[in-house]
Amino acid sequence: MSGPTQRTIKANGITLNVAEQGKGPMVLLCHGFPEGWYSWRHQLEALAAAGYHAVAPDMRGYGKSDRPEAIDQYTILHMVGDLVGVLDAFEVKDAVIVGHDWGATIAWHTARLRPDRFRAAAILSVPYRPRSPVPPTSVMPQTADAQFYQLYFQEPGVAEAEFERDPRATLGAMLFGASGEGAMAIRANAESAGRTAGVGMVSRKDGMLPKVPVPLPSWLSAADLDYYGAEFARSGFRGPLNYYRNIDRSWELMGAFEGVKVVVPALFIAGDHDLVIAFPGAAEHLANMKQFVPQLREIKMLPGCGHWTQQERPAEVNEAIVEFLRSLPG
């Protein structure tokens, strides 16, 4: 089978680059931070082989897609509109949506707000979280010495300066650090030093990235990292970071949809070494998810897997998604 092809489409007033493979019902794959369509390279092939049309865009702000300059162009409603626009560009009535990391949050809300266009959802890493009673950044942890990474991302230009010094090294550090292998290494180092590893905390003095080189995780090749590094060297980090700079704004906008549940069939997959699963409150979100996603079919946890679910465990993720797809009506 030939590999995925790429082309650009018009969606929601912007241009998106999409990778696609296969023919059949559409499965729309939404990546997270800091990735791109390439994070779905293993799924594109597997879904095409299973008889589906797999479509993976570079999300707004990433890769070869448009990167609006204004911060306010990256709210959750912009993202939902982009994905509806993808279906319109392909002239398809509906699709199954799959999302990971930021793409998971976007996919949850896309399925929630447009069940007429998205008939099911398979979500990786980030469980459904009901709207908090206060703006999210107001309760993110911070101390005199460190702050939660999403707070570190708020000031325009700060994280960009750190990440863009060497995009390939930045991607390598992030992909290793949040992987299952990286999580175990960080935990072991913290234990040997007699301290507790702070989940997602960034030093106010030293920034986010490690000061020493990190190894390639076993599931990532040097060529994979070269591809990621080249993409971010060209496109930069401002667009991806703008997602975080709209967390409170998106919280405000979503107040109009308070109480609306995700009513389509859903599957949730995560690694038990995923830093998102270690966040405070995540266990409660997992336990209560069916209250907000009444057609949740399964919560599948992958032992030893970290945050990069579909890249760390492609065979298991592919099998679970295809089985879920084949179980859907029609």
3-state secondary structure the chain: CCCCEEEEEEECCEEEEEEEECCCCEEEEECCCCCCHHHHHHHHHHHHHCCCEEEEECCCCCCCCCCCCCHHHCCHHHHHHHHHHHHHHHCCCCEEEEEECHHHHHHHHHHHHCCCCEEEEEEECCCCCCCCCCCHHHHCCECCCEEEHHHHCCCCCHHHHHHCCCHHHHHHHHHHHCCHHHHHHHHHHHHHCCCCCCCCEEECCCECCCCCCCCCCCCCCHHHHHHHHHHHHHHCCHHHHHHHCCHHHHHHHHHHHCCCCCCCCEEEEEECCCHHHHCCCHHHHHHHHHHHCCCEEEEEEECCCCCCHHHHCHHHHHHHHHHHHHHCCC
pLDDT above 80 (res 14): yes
| Catalytic-residue membership of 307 | yes
Q: What's the rounded mean pLDDT across residues 181-186?
A: 84
Q: What's the rounded mean pLDDT across residues 159-175?
A: 98
Query: What does the pLDDT read at residue 330?
Result: 77
Query: What does the pLDDT read at residue 185?
Result: 78
Catalytic residue among 58, 66, 101, 224: 101
CA distance 254 to 256: 5
- pLDDT, one tens digit per residue, over 107-143 is 999 999 999 999 999 999 999 999 999 999 999 999 9
> Pick from 109, 122, 51, 55: which is nearest to 86 by CA?
55
Contacts of 211 (CB under 8 A, 6+ apart): none
pLDDT above 90 (res 187): no
pLDDT above 70 (res 196): no
What pTM was estimated for this model as a whole? 0.96
Q: What's the rounded mean pLDDT across residues 173-192?
A: 82
Confidence bin at 189 (pLDDT 50/70/90): low
> Pick from 81, 120, 75, 127: which is nearest to 100 by CA?
127
| Catalytic-residue membership of 101 | yes
How do 266-271 and 201-203 pair as beta strands?
unpaired
Query: What does the pLDDT read at residue 2?
Result: 79
Confidence bin at 183 (pLDDT 50/70/90): confident
Q: What's the rounded mean pLDDT across residues 11-16?
A: 98
Lowest-confidence segment of 76-90, 129-143, 187-201 by average pLDDT: 187-201
Query: What does the pLDDT read at residue 280?
Result: 86
Residue ranges of domains in the chain, CATH in brackets: 5-327 (3.40.50.1820)
Amino acid, res. 173: A
pLDDT above 80 (res 249): yes
Q: What's the rounded mean pLDDT across residues 282-298?
A: 96
Amino acid, res. 272: D
Catalytic residue among 53, 100, 109, 307: 307
Place of tokens 């791109």: 36
Query: What does the pLDDT read at residue 195?
Result: 54
Q: What's the rounded mean pLDDT across residues 14-37?
A: 98
Q: What's the rounded mean pLDDT across residues 158-176?
A: 98
pLDDT above 80 (res 188): no
